[in-house]
Amino acid sequence: MTSLRWWQRAVFYQIYPRSFADANGDGIGDLEGIRRHLDYLQDLGVEAIWLCPHYPSPLVDWGYDVADYTNVAPEYGTLEDFRRLLEDAHRRNIRVILDLVLNHTSDQHPWFQESRSRCDHPKRDWYIWRDGKDGEPPNNWYSAFGGSAWEYDPQTGQYYYHFFFKEQPDLNWRNPAVKRAMFDVVRFWLDMGVDGFRLDAVGTIFEDPALPDQTAPMSYPEWLKAWNAATDEAERERLWRIRQEMFRYQEDLPEVHDLMRELRALVNAYGDVVLVGETEDLAYYGNGEDELHLVFNFPLMKAPRLTPAVVRANQRERLAGLPPGAWPCNTMGNHDVSRVLSRYGDGRHDREIARIAAALMLTLWGTPFLYYGEEIGMRDLILTDLSLFKDPLGRWWYTVERELFGTPHEEAVIRGAQFGRDKCRTPMQWSRAPNAGFCPPGVAPWLPVHPNYQEGVNVADQLEEPDSLLAFYRRLIRLRQRTPALLAGEYVPLAEDSEEALIFLRRLREDGSACLVAMNMSEGPAHVRLDLPTWGRCLFSTHRKEGAEEALRELRLAPFEITLMELLRR
């Protein structure tokens, strides 16, 4: 246990700064708002926060189009505000990691402004410029955010490459000057005292310099429509292979791993700093010690349903693929996907399903990442007014539905809202006060607040309710923190033929101590034979009396019961 690093023990909490807390009353979340709620996070049991981009930005992609890597966006505060937040977090033993956007900058970044000024500018090769072919782009690559990956620049008569929006030109990491400049950015924040980075879109940093055409059998909009409509797992696997073919020359090239090893060596010089990759590819662990510290278990987050079979298969595959010494990392949500209850809620057992999802994150082996508001059961807000859309992805998909598929306006708006990311980025719901306490009465928040804040989906109400979802998170996080087997124990599946119950051990190899985790993920009772030659003492349960002891030859679980037991030695 003493050998665990802080990022292996910690519960991480992702904060979207624009939506967390507005301290200056302008309807936009800010750094001071986050600082004022550090006590809440500490009480919840959070030991590390991941801040989505706080840098100056024209906000085409809401901060992921960075215009200055070493400053703070004015609407969020100042560098001094950031230092104060960092110091106050550290005083509470809360670490802080930042979003680091390596692949691209904003087209308003001074580097790109210089690069596009003329073909012979010294920074021209800081980005990827190419001549067209017969008046067309250099090749048929797509942008992941729609349309061609190439944008024509009439000022110099060439095209520049962008994996995402055209306002996000890709940096040319094959140029050593780019690497030096970006590594200086890393040093700037580490010198200030930040504890690591979440690396955005890490797999897109390099692209094939030969620029060969891709040969996918359908267009990207056609693929997206088919993917959104697919319900059969075999069809989704077929479509995913098509997507891999479509972007094979733009993602996960071998050079990325060389860069990650260099970046790891840089941060290692600063001590106990963590690198977390926005990727599910286990190859980014390297040999377990030389690339990223953590890689997200996105396959679990993307599962269409939460069932024992799904979780067991996920853990079997993920854990078997880990290189020696690598550490797992689990999450159920982030700023790009639907919230847990909107994905998995059935309208009848939402309370129980929310607790199952929380228990999964906090009991599976690995570092858990929680998304702000999940601890109170926030849901997606599907906007029905196109003028309220902030996310350009939602507006783009509305246009695709209207122009390519002939979808009626009202339906296209709904589909655009469902496709876009505004739905999961709405303001944090602090209380029943106007605007859910996010910003003052009479001030319009940057995105509408979900109206269910008036129905108990807010922090203040749930702090007063001992059986609330927030209370459930707090209790389970505390148990995790004081139970060595839940922090460091290996995952040992049990009762693998059960269709209703997910049961596993978290067992420490050092001394054999173990914690039994049992979740009935169905609406009916479950009876499971375990034949464990020992007894268990209840540590935590939604149905059993805590402290009670019972033989573990079998378990009878109530619908949606969650129970954790310490294995006793007799």
Q: What amino acid positions are annotated as catalytic residues?
A: 200, 278
DSSP type of residue 230: -
Three-class secondary structure of residue 363 per DSSP:
helix
Q: For residues 519 and 308, give the distance between their C-alpha atoms in angstroms, rounded to a whole number.
A: 9
Instruction: Tell me which residue of 283, 294, 268, 295 sits closest to 323, measured CA to CA.
Output: 283
Contact present, 362 and 368 (Cβ < 8 Å): yes
Looking at 290-403, which runs of residues are DSSP E strands? 294-295, 329-331, 367-371
Query: Which structure tokens are listed for 231?
Result: 């319900």
Cα distance between residue 34 and residue 21, in whole Å:
6
Per-residue DSSP letter, 316: H
Question: Counting beta carbons within 10 angstroms of the beta carbon of residue 432, is it exposed (0 to 12), middle (13 to 18) or buried (19 or more)?
Answer: middle
Q: In what helix (H) or strand (E) does residue 12 lie, and over which residues does it extend?
A: strand 12-15
Tokens of 162: 């962008």
Rounded to whole angstroms, how far apart are CA atoms 6 and 20? 25
d(C-alpha 565, C-alpha 361), whole Å: 17
The secondary element (H helix, E strand) that includes residue 555 is strand 554-557
DSSP code, position 481:
H
Pairing status of strand 514-520 against strand 562-567: antiparallel
At 337, is the secondary structure helix, strand, or coil?
coil
Sequence-distant (6+) residues with CB within 8 A of 65 are 57, 58, 59, 104, 105, 106, 107, 108, 165, 167, 168
| Distance separating alpha carbons of residues 386 and 393, to the nearest angstrom | 12
DSSP label at residue 520: E
Cβ within 8 Å of residue 399, ≥6 positions away: none
Q: Are the CB atoms for 308 and 364 separated by under 8 Å?
A: no
Helix, coil or strand: residue 342: helix
Torsion of CA 320, 286, 359, 15, to 10 degrees: -160
| CB distance 106 to 167 below 8 Å | yes
The answer to whether 207 and 170 are in contact (CB under 8 A) is: yes
CA–CA gap between residue 79 and residue 433 (Å, rounded): 31
Angle in degrees, 0-180, between the axes of helices 409-419 and 392-403, rounded to the nearest 10: 140
